[in-house]
Amino acid sequence: MNTMHEWAIAEAIAEAVSKYSESRGSRSVKRLIIGLGELQAIDREIFEFALSEIFKLYRLEVLEYVLQSEEAEFKCRSCGFSWRLRDLELSDEDREAIHFLPEAVYAYVKCPKCGSLDYYITKGRGLSILGVEY
């Protein structure tokens, strides 16, 4: 898997945290909490390494990273039904495929209530900064 992805995300996070810290006049973060979407294909080890390297470049000290998984949620546009991946009976291979290529979710998952493919991902896609503690 291409590791540029992890570095690009780490850099975006470092930039946001750096700006926020500057506005508070601090260069030291006690705890940084990051939400990792279930549908975000990311290598945690590479990502954590990228974060620590990039924060050094930004001259920002982060004492602790907390990576929290965020479960994916879907909502059907046709019938309004909401569901999560674990509500579905997916084979392990299908689950794996979705984790490696989240865009493929539409090939494996349809609305469990009405069978529509016209649904959207309400949670668990991408990454978010959940908290910065000083």
Residue ranges in contact with Zn ion by CB under 5 A: 76, 78-79, 81, 111, 113-114, 116
Q: Which long-range contacts (CB under 8 A, 24 or more apart) does 103-112 make?
A: 105/39, 109/74, 109/85, 111/74, 111/76, 111/78, 111/79, 111/81, 111/83, 112/81, 112/83, 112/87, 112/88
- CB nearer Zn ion, residue 5 or residue 110: 110
Shortest reach from residue 128's CB to Zn ion, in Å: 27
Shortest reach from residue 113's CB to Zn ion, in Å: 5
- CB nearer Zn ion, residue 30 or residue 113: 113
- CB nearer Zn ion, residue 49 or residue 83: 83
